[in-house]
């Protein structure tokens, strides 16, 4: 039962169209909020599987709950910061980032102390923040004491998990680098940041951070276990601890739970404060293991490869083999984000799996349904073949019997020359009829299969009708049915004369077959405006509405026709209709059960032209 699958152009187009549609749907699905959540979830999971843990190069100096409690609370923040900076400066760190907004004037004495602490701190970076009015910068006195300003914005994740930091922010024509980047730049010697659309460079250290809009999001590779932290209170209590800050990047900020305004989680689900996020971002900048998002074109390409592979699998294979390959493909699609992550590329999880799944399901379903359709078609082909055999045996029996009988008579008896001639003629005409029948049957089959072009000769409609009426008269006489040719017009038709003759003859034989004896059959042919109408009207058994709807179907016969004892196959009218349709015309039938039927062939004017 291994039949070689044939792929028509239409089928290839439909199949690829379906898979392309699946790919488009999958890509669109990747933009939904649900997909974003799933992608983030997958990202966090991969974070846990591929943690980064090298020794931290930065330290957090925390203004924690104990510090606030013992040193005057939030109101004493500036003096806490001043004292903190004094100890930090003494330890000679590489650079210091202050995660506090110092934009408003407070106690003059304290501010002066803070300013002088700042002045003695090397490579100091102060924070600035965007508010609706623009950049909120530190007081000019503080600003002048600092080496640089850095913004302290992080992304604002819906789920509270911090993943990105925008390395740059622009407002009112002023661009600020992130606090962590400024600290890093100063720690590496203070040369300006070099930038290209895809990355930035600090003292020869390349950081992939493609610009997206007015930002350059950097994925923070959080160090597992966090950044070492010392509280200001501890530092003051135990000045030796300051040694840990030597030659390090230091970030100082509030971590007290009671005062922290931003508190997030990292992808490991560990709680992190704002100041630690800056320190982690610094570690990412200083490290070499960057995570860059896969470009849109790369995502599309990989998804398209999955879709194409799924399509090819089901096109070239079938059964378990195909399902096995499809399962491997799906497994690969699920693994792709992990493989990419391991190579520092963030590949959207939903895009990968939804393209692979949708493409696999679409191709499998397409193949399943088209195989089913083929099976049904081959079953109906078989049925048609059987019916065709039926047709041959029934329709051809009459001429064959005549030929057989005559030839036997000729062989067995000494016949007169006249009689012999008559019989030879009859054999000749019957065998011609047989050949014509076979030809017509084959022609119509091929026409409706689209394998054959119809002939386009010019012929006279009257000749066709008259010859059919003449041929059918003897049949009518046997049942005492009189056939009237009421009117004919001499119209020229263009098309296949033999097929048209078959059609008219068939209507006539049906009229005779399905009418009781001593009735009449009337034939008209009239020009009605643009149309030529050839009508065959009988006074026969007729048909009801339901039967009328079916008679042009192949192999359909009414119960009454079956009961009439007339031989038939139910194929003639379907051939008639095919012929008429191929001539650009249509069939009309009217019938009343028990009273008679009227069949009309309507041919359009464009194939008719007055005969000369
Ligand atoms: P066949 O005559 O070999 O059965 P056709 O395709 O020519 O096949 O006709 C299909 C069916 O339509 C016939 O079996 C019969 O039931 C019905 N039919 C066709 N012509 C007539 C008619 N003139 N009067 C009544 N029934 C008809």
Model pLDDT for residues 134-160, shown as the tens digit of each residue: 899 999 999 999 999 999 998 877 888
Lowest mean pLDDT among 425-429, 434-438, 553-557: 434-438
Residue whose pair of structure tokens reads 């009605």 in the numeric block: 528
Q: How far is CA 1 from CA 5, 375, 451, in A?
A: 11, 11, 26
Handedness of CA 76, 78, 82, 85 (dihedral sign): positive
CA separation, residue 412 to residues 336, 401, 423, 429 (Å): 88, 16, 13, 21
For residue 527, name the pLDDT band (cuts at 50, 70, 90): confident
Q: Can you tell me the distance from the alpha carbon of 184 to that of 342, in angstroms, rounded to the nearest whole number?
A: 25
Tokens of 348: 């959207």
Model confidence band, residue 223 (pLDDT cutoffs 50, 70, 90): very high
Distance, in Å, from the CA atom of 278 to the CA atom of 180, rounded to the nearest integer, reads 5
Is the CB of residue 180 less than 8 Å from the CB of residue 209? no
Residue 380 has pLDDT above 80, yes or no: no
Would you state the structure tokens that stand for residue 559, as one six-digit string? 């119960």
Q: Are 371 and 395 in contact (CB under 8 A)?
A: no
Cα 480 to ligand 1 centre (Å): 20
Beta 263-265 vs 271-273: how paired, if at all? Answer: antiparallel
Centre of ligand 1 from the C-alpha of residue 571, in Å: 9
Distance from residue 576's CA to the centre of ligand 1 (Å): 11
Q: Tokens 């008719």 sit at which residue?
A: 608
Name the DSSP class of 607.
G
On the 0-12 / 13-18 / 19+ scale of CB atoms within 10 A, 330 is middle
Give Cβ neighbours of residue 117 (< 8 Å, ≥ 6 apart). 81, 82, 83, 85, 86, 89
Cα-to-chain-centroid distance, residue 330: 17
Q: Which of 546, 568, 571, 574 to mutate for ligand 1's pocket (most ligand atoms within 8 Å of CB)?
A: 568
The rounded distance, in Å, linking the Cα atoms of 554 and 564 is: 19
Contact 277, 178 (CB under 8 A): no
- Which atom in ligand 1 lies closest to the alpha carbon of residue 552? 6
Query: In the predicted model, is pLDDT for residue 261 greater than 80?
Result: no
Distance CA 453, CA 154 (A): 73
Overall average pLDDT of the 15-28 stretch: 94
Q: Where are the alpha helices (DSSP H) in 3-148?
A: 9-29, 33-49, 65-70, 77-90, 108-119, 140-145
Angstrom distance (rounded) from CA 256 to CA 233: 12
507 lines ligand 1 (CB under 6 A): no
Q: Count CB neighbours of 77 within 10 A.
A: 21
Residue 603's contacts (CB-CB under 8 Å, 6 or more residues apart) are: 493, 531, 532, 533, 534, 580, 583, 584, 585
Residue whose token pair is 């199949």: 15
Q: Ligand 1 pocket, 596 CB below 6 A?
A: no
Cβ 558 under 6 angstroms from ligand 1: yes
> What is the Å distance from ligand 1's center to 471 Cα?
19
User: Can you tell me the mean pLDDT for 248-261?
Assistant: 86
DSSP 8-state symbol, 344: T
Q: Determine if ligand 1 sits within 6 Å of the CB of residue 306.
A: no
Q: CA separation (Å) from 175 to 49, 167, 426? A: 36, 10, 106
Radius of gyration for the chain, computed over Cα atoms and rounded to the nearest angstrom: 47
pLDDT in tens, 33-57: 999 999 999 999 999 999 887 889 9
CB-based contact 581:602 (threshold 8 Å): no
Distance from chain centroid for Cα 266: 36
In contact, 59 and 244? CB cutoff 8 Å:
yes
Whole-number percent of the chain with pLDDT over 70: 95
| CA 510 / ligand 1 centre spacing (Å) | 6
**To which H or E segment does residue 497 belong?**
helix 497-513
CA 526 to chain centre: 55
Confidence of residue 448 (pLDDT cuts 50, 70, 90): low
Quick check: CB of 571 below 6 Å from ligand 1? yes
pLDDT band at 384 (very low <50, low <70, confident <90, very high): low
């Amino acid at each position: 039962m291994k039949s070689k699958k044939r792929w028509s152009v239409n089928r290839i187009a439909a199949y690829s169209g379906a898979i392309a549609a699946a790919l488009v749907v999958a890509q669109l699905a990747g933009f939904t909020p649900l997909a974003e959540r799933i992608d983030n979830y997958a990202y966090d999971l991969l974070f846990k599987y591929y943690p980064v843990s090298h020794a931290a190069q930065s330290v957090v100096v925390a203004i924690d709950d104990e510090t606030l409690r013992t040193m005057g609370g939030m109101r004493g923040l500036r003096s806490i910061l001043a004292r903190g900076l004094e100890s930090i400066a003494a330890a000679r760190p590489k650079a210091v980032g202050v995660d506090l907004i110092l934009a408003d004037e407070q106690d003059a004495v304290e501010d002066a102390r803070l300013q002088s602490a700042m002045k003695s701190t090397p490579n100091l970076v102060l924070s600035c923040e965007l508010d609706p009015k623009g950049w909120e910068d530190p007081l000019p006195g503080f600003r002048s004491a600092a080496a640089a300003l850095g913004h302290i914005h992080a992304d604002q994740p819906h789920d509270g998990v911090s993943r990105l930091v925008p390395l740059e922010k622009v407002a009112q024509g002023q661009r600020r680098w992130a606090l962590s980047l400024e600290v890093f730049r100063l720690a590496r010697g203070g040369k300006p940041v070099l930038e290209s659309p895809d990355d930035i460079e600090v003292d020869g250290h390349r950081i992939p951070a493609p610009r997206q809009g007015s930002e350059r999001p950097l994925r923070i590779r959080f160090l597992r276990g966090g950044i070492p932290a010392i509280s200001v209170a501890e530092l003051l209590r135990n000045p030796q601890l300051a040694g840990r800050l030597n030659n390090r990047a230091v970030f100082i900020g509030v971590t007290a739970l009671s005062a922290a305004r931003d508190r997030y989680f990292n992808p490991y689900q560990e709680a992190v404060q704002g100041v630690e996020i800056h320190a982690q971002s610094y570690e990412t900048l200083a490290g070499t293991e960057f995570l860059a998002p896969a470009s849109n074109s790369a995502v599309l390409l990989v998804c398209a490869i999955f879709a194409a592979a799924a399509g090819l699998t089901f096109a070239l294979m079938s059964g378990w083999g195909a399902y096995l390959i499809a399962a491997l493909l799906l497994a690969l699609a699920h693994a792709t984000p992990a493989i990419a992550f391991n190579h520092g590329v963030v590949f959207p999880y939903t895009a990968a799996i939804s393209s692979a799944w949708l493409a696999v399901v679409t191709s499998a379903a397409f193949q399943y349904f088209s195989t089913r359709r083929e099976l049904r078609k081959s079953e109906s082909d078989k049925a048609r073949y059987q019916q065709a055999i039926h047709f041959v045996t029934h329709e051809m029996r009459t001429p064959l019997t005549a030929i057989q009988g005559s030839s036997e008579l000729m062989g067995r008896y000494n016949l007169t020359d006249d009689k012999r001639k008559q019989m030879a003629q009859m054999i000749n005409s019957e065998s011609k009829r047989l050949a014509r029948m076979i030809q017509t049957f084959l022609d119509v089959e091929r026409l409706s299969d689209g394998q054959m072009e119809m002939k386009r000769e010019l012929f006279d409609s009257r000749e066709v009708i008259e010859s059919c009426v003449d041929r059918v008269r003897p049949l009518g006489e046997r049942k005492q049915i009189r056939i009237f040719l009421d009117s004919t017009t001499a119209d020229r038709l263009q098309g296949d004369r033999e097929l048209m003759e078959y059609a008219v003859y068939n209507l006539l034989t049906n009229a005779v077959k399905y009418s009781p004896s001593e009735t009449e059959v009337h034939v008209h042919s009239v020009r009605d405006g643009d149309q030529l109408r050839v009508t065959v009207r009988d006074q026969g058994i007729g048909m009801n509405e339901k039967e009328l709807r079916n008679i042009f179907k192949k192999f359909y016969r009414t119960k009454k026709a079956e009961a009439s004892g007339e031989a038939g196959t139910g194929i003639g009218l379907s051939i008639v209709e095919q012929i008429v349709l191929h001539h650009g015309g249509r069939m009309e039938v009217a019938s009343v059960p028990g009273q008679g039927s009227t069949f009309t062939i309507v041919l359009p004017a464009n194939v008719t032209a007055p005969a000369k």
